[in-house]
Amino acid sequence: MPLGRKPFARLLATLAVATLPLVATGAPAPRGISDSGPDASLEYVFTEIEANRLDAALERTEEVLRAYPNFRLAHLIKGDLLLARSKPISTFGNAPAPAERVSELRDEAIARLRAYRERPAAATYIPRYLLQMGPDQRFAVVVDTKRARLYVYANEGGKPRFVADYYISHGKAGTDKRVEGDNKTPLGVYEVTSFIEQAKLPDLYGIGAFPINYPNEWDRRLGRTGHGIWLHGTPSNTYARPPLSSEGCVTLANQDFLKLSNFVQPGLTPVIISNDIEWLSLDDWQAERRNLQLAIEDWRRDWEKAGEVGRYLSHYSKDFRSDTQNFAEWSEQKRKVAASRQWIKVRLDKLSMFRNPGRDDIVVVTFEQDYRSDDLSDRVRKRQYWLKEGGRWKIVYEGKA
């Protein structure tokens, strides 16, 4: 008997309509290319359901299950399609399953289809956070928790180029982590610190893990606590987890984690976690980037003017704090040092600039600093947090990276 139950088609069409593109913050996020596993097939399945071509939808769903046998969402859709052969059904997930589980799978379906239909334009828009990748950073990772999506960008001559995107899950209690055990995913600019291989992990974490440096310098300044935030895979009996399901980590299907591992450089790759990515046109991105580059260069030049330490200190916020000093203590130390120096030369190498999600006026700047004077030579990797105060960029944190 052919599948042709119109009530069922209208029902799942309602779910598909719920995923129609929304207006993105800052700029629309038009279509691009996705490397996203079964999501293109899910798009096809729901398009066929909307058109009441349920036999074609079932055929493609079975193809998906042959490729991804543990894909629970596809099993649920197949169950509904089969059930529609024999009786009218009125809800998504009529095949026997706990109501909570059906709700989670519905959320996953919406997240996957919405992100697929809103994937970014490869050449037209750039995430606002990627102001400048360092020359040794081959790729950057940007997570959009609202869309349950992870995007990979390549460093192509200093300009970010969209490479791939993957479905992800994050903290069961949402985002903006503040305290240990709150089951939230942090928002901010982080970097991958290491790789943990499968043999050293419980099955829960899948085929590997990339820890990130939460809490970072800004998190510690704000008194945020917790640890052990990773990008990792899924258990061996699970293809994917619901959008809100971890204790704060970002999780990917094992197949997607394997692909991601080709892009990640532990100790170098930035991971920027956002609630809702802001997209900039290329012109706007270049203007923001140039504005901060000029501010950093002014700071560097003023530092070289050993007899004019006031100009150097004018680049620091009165709310400045290093790991050990406030602004008054920092200023006193710098004045004493400058008084003993006849000349100073400063060079900045491997400069990166990443805007902090959720705080439009904060940018994380990292570089290798080569400092030379008449009595000291030093090279150190340094990190600064720049804050816009009264229309001018100021440094609110500085320390070794």
Active site residues: 232, 249
* Side chain identity at residue 180, one-letter code: E
Strand order from edge to edge, sheet including 377-389: 130-132, 344-355, 362-373, 377-389, 392-400
What DSSP character marks residue 119?
Answer: P
Burial state string for 344-364 with b = 16 or more CB within 10 A and e = fewer than 16: beeeeeebbbbbbbeeeebbb
Residues near 169 by Cβ (< 8 Å), separated by ≥ 6? 148, 240, 241, 242, 243, 244, 245, 246, 250, 251
The two structure tokens encoding residue 57? 């939808």
The two structure tokens encoding residue 64? 């998906």
The two structure tokens encoding residue 296? 């950093």
Q: Residue 289: what are its φ and ψ, rounded to 5°?
A: -60, -45
Q: How far apart are the first and last CA of the chain?
A: 66
Is-contact 95 81, C-beta < 8 A?
no
Is it true that the peptide bond before 7 is cis, omega within 30 degrees of 0? no
Alpha-carbon span 401 to 396, nearest angstrom: 15
Q: Specify the residue for token string 């940018």.
A: 363
* Side chain identity at residue 80, one-letter code: D
Is-contact 93 106, C-beta < 8 A?
yes
Alpha-carbon span 330 to 350, nearest angstrom: 25
